Copies of this chain bind each other. A is one copy, B any other.
């Protein structure tokens, strides 16, 4: 029900937009809700005419609901961008129209495809091709068609001409998922864009328009799954009324080719009041899960499966019963297999006991289990071994298990990256990790080849991003946060895309067409990640944030319930030096990496300086490649980061009048916050490290405005994104 009227509303809205943009070719206000799907009128009349002449009709045969969605999206996009109403009930002729359909299910499509093309077109793949003044959008299945339609609209949104258009693409990865750390009370753990868009209380009856627009936005960048609940899971999602609520969301998502997933609380059989154990080898437990899964599939036939955080940070798990992660995952996998579901078992685990080096533990726990997981289990690993730090080396589990598929977990939200207000383009981080060579099967063992399954021939592949989406009107709070969502989707589809390519696409689609804007926006996104690392955790420093909310600097944090939750555990600064020795003379975490990788990082004089203090403890007067001492380099890098934010602000200010006032002011207000906080990070950290090293900040640099005690005294009890303690 929710869907039909939404599309009607959408089409009306788009009619209005055409009118709107036809008359207002200047810069207009934008609240950001439409994301990269602005579908602005193509202003160049020649190009618009060229597009239009290829789009006299849409010829489509038969099809299910995803194909219907594809055609509606195509029609509404053409309405918006070209101002034309295109009939979809036409018979194909030889010129001036679009033939749309699934290979093998449409004779028109099949006629236009070569035998090779037909053979190549697999699941989710599409072929987008101009043939004279005709256009062909062929999919290997209906999702493929939908992706082809969105790609076509994206090309038009970027004003790319269609001569000799010939794109054939298939996703490199099967599971392309958003993970929502959303609680049932609508708070979002590590969420900085308002609250959860899932209004559980009013589901299943009330279908928020956002649900449709969410699905639409995701489908437009190839995301095909959504885990709607927090990894710190709540058993209540398995109560009948909540399954009905989830089913109502699934009904919305399905039309956009998106499967719904839930997080499974391992102790659910106990908490829902039926069993006294959650032991994965207990037959009653196995039966409980088997029945529960059947109940879910009864209402959601395309349910995707479970994401599980177990035996980690207080979450229950199989180890409570003397079982392994594999025992736990396999039990759930057995329940899901008859229905086609998967288990994504997270490797973000660390021992309840004090560890020697937290960075080593996931590897230690999981590598011995290699080969013992069912074939519908995939192990989900954060990009780095600690916890979504601004910059981490790749997690050593990538490449370490040859018989177990490994799924990437990236952060799209910005827990340790400035949260909701800082402009930080994350595609650089994604690219850096994906292109890292792990050397686990020799040179060329890049992370991308592990994630896409090609290195070890894994059948199941996946990539997940922890969502930055919330109730705020523009979805992500910071407008540039939309670029991270976009980049994640694009890289999940094609992990070899460069950050720069993605930024440029996003800039073209997200602002009114203007070359100056495109350049500045691309530059801001490209440079911002480097600046953020510099003003927060330069030279390989990590986990020096204030406790709890992880919002501001807290290098002095030394008293927590566990040592490995403190900052001093990670930076180990004393009067002599700073850094965490992870070489053979220290924790030897480096040992978990491939030989070629170790070789790059084990010698402090060769180790890339961005990871220097991650792997090495060094004296303050250690000589850097530049000739500066480590202390001076630390000072100058912190300053470079803060100066970078000022440069970003300056660059943005050159756009006044080139972007609409609302967006301009929105971004500028956030840049002012970012500037203030970059200086805060810099000054708090240098004050602290200076007090430890006894060294002075070089004379030519701006000195901290306040004393160290001031920075220590600051408190933010209501910073967003903290998990409520109830």
Residues of A near any B CB (own CB < 8 A): 1-2, 5-6, 8-9, 12-13, 15-16, 19-20, 23-24, 28-29, 31, 184-186, 194-195, 200-202, 205-207, 209, 236, 420-421, 471-473, 660-662, 664-665, 669-670, 672-673, 676, 716-720, 724-726
Known: A19-B19, A24-B16, A662-B209. A719 touches B673 (CB 8 A): no
For A11, give the chain B residue with the smallest CB separation. B29
Alpha-carbon separation in the docked complex, A202 to B471 (Å): 16
Shortest C-beta distance, A722 to chain B (Å), equals 8
- Interface contact B9-A669, CB-CB below 8 Å: no
Known: A5-B662, A29-B9, A206-B670. A718 touches B421 (CB 8 A): no
Given contacts A15-B24, A471-B472, 14 further A-B contacts (CB under 8 A): A9-B29, A12-B29, A16-B20, A16-B24, A19-B20, A31-B209, A194-B195, A195-B195, A200-B718, A205-B669, A205-B670, A206-B670, A236-B718, A726-B726
Known: A13-B29, A726-B725. A201 touches B5 (CB 8 A): no
Shortest C-beta distance, A657 to chain B (Å), equals 11
Q: List 12 A-B contacts (CB under 8 A).
A: A9-B661, A12-B29, A16-B20, A194-B471, A195-B471, A201-B719, A201-B720, A202-B673, A206-B670, A206-B673, A207-B669, A471-B472
For A719, give the chain B residue with the smallest CB separation. B201
Shortest C-beta distance, A141 to chain B (Å), equals 30
- Interface contact A186-B720, CB-CB below 8 Å: yes
Shortest C-beta distance, A697 to chain B (Å), equals 26
Most buried by B among A236, A471, A718: A718
Q: How many copies does the complex hold?
A: 2
Task: Find A421's partner among B206, B662, B724 (CB 8 Å cutoff).
Answer: B206
Known: A9-B661, A28-B16, A236-B717. A205 touches B473 (CB 8 A): no
- Interface contact B9-A19, CB-CB below 8 Å: no
Alpha-carbon separation in the docked complex, A125 to B200 (Å): 46
Chain B hits for A1, CB < 8 A = 665
Shortest C-beta distance, A390 to chain B (Å), equals 20
For A665, give the chain B residue with the smallest CB separation. B5
Chain B hits for A662, CB < 8 A = 5-6, 9, 209
For A669, give the chain B residue with the smallest CB separation. B206
Alpha-carbon separation in the docked complex, A472 to B195 (Å): 10
Alpha-carbon separation in the docked complex, A660 to B9 (Å): 8
For A477, give the chain B residue with the smallest CB separation. B202
Alpha-carbon separation in the docked complex, A157 to B421 (Å): 39
For A207, give the chain B residue with the smallest CB separation. B669
Chain B hits for A202, CB < 8 A = 420-421, 673
Task: Find A718's partner among B185, B661, B669 (CB 8 Å cutoff).
Answer: B185
Task: Find A19's partner among B23, B205, B420, B669 (CB 8 Å cutoff).
Answer: B23
Alpha-carbon separation in the docked complex, A8 to B27 (Å): 12
Shortest C-beta distance, A452 to chain B (Å), equals 39
- Interface contact B207-A8, CB-CB below 8 Å: no
Alpha-carbon separation in the docked complex, A662 to B6 (Å): 7
Alpha-carbon separation in the docked complex, A194 to B725 (Å): 20
For A660, give the chain B residue with the smallest CB separation. B9
Alpha-carbon separation in the docked complex, A19 to B18 (Å): 12
Chain B hits for A673, CB < 8 A = 202, 205-206
Alpha-carbon separation in the docked complex, A472 to B208 (Å): 10
Closest 5 CB pairs of A and B: A9-B29, A184-B718, A5-B661, A185-B718, A206-B669
Alpha-carbon separation in the docked complex, A420 to B203 (Å): 13
Chain B hits for A472, CB < 8 A = 471
Shortest C-beta distance, A705 to chain B (Å), equals 15
Shortest C-beta distance, A14 to chain B (Å), equals 10
Shortest C-beta distance, A184 to chain B (Å), equals 4
- Interface contact B236-A201, CB-CB below 8 Å: no
Chain B hits for A2, CB < 8 A = 665
Chain B hits for A13, CB < 8 A = 29
Shortest C-beta distance, A52 to chain B (Å), equals 21
Alpha-carbon separation in the docked complex, A20 to B676 (Å): 41
Chain B hits for A672, CB < 8 A = 205
Chain B hits for A661, CB < 8 A = 5, 8-9, 12
For A721, give the chain B residue with the smallest CB separation. B201
Chain B hits for A12, CB < 8 A = 28-29, 661
Chain B hits for A194, CB < 8 A = 194-195, 471
Chain B hits for A717, CB < 8 A = 184, 236
Chain B hits for A205, CB < 8 A = 669-670, 672-673, 676
Shortest C-beta distance, A655 to chain B (Å), equals 14
Chain B hits for A676, CB < 8 A = 205
Shortest C-beta distance, A191 to chain B (Å), equals 11
For A674, give the chain B residue with the smallest CB separation. B205
For A15, give the chain B residue with the smallest CB separation. B24
For A210, give the chain B residue with the smallest CB separation. B473
Chain B hits for A19, CB < 8 A = 19-20, 23
Alpha-carbon separation in the docked complex, A664 to B184 (Å): 28
Most buried by B among A29, A200, A420, A673: A29
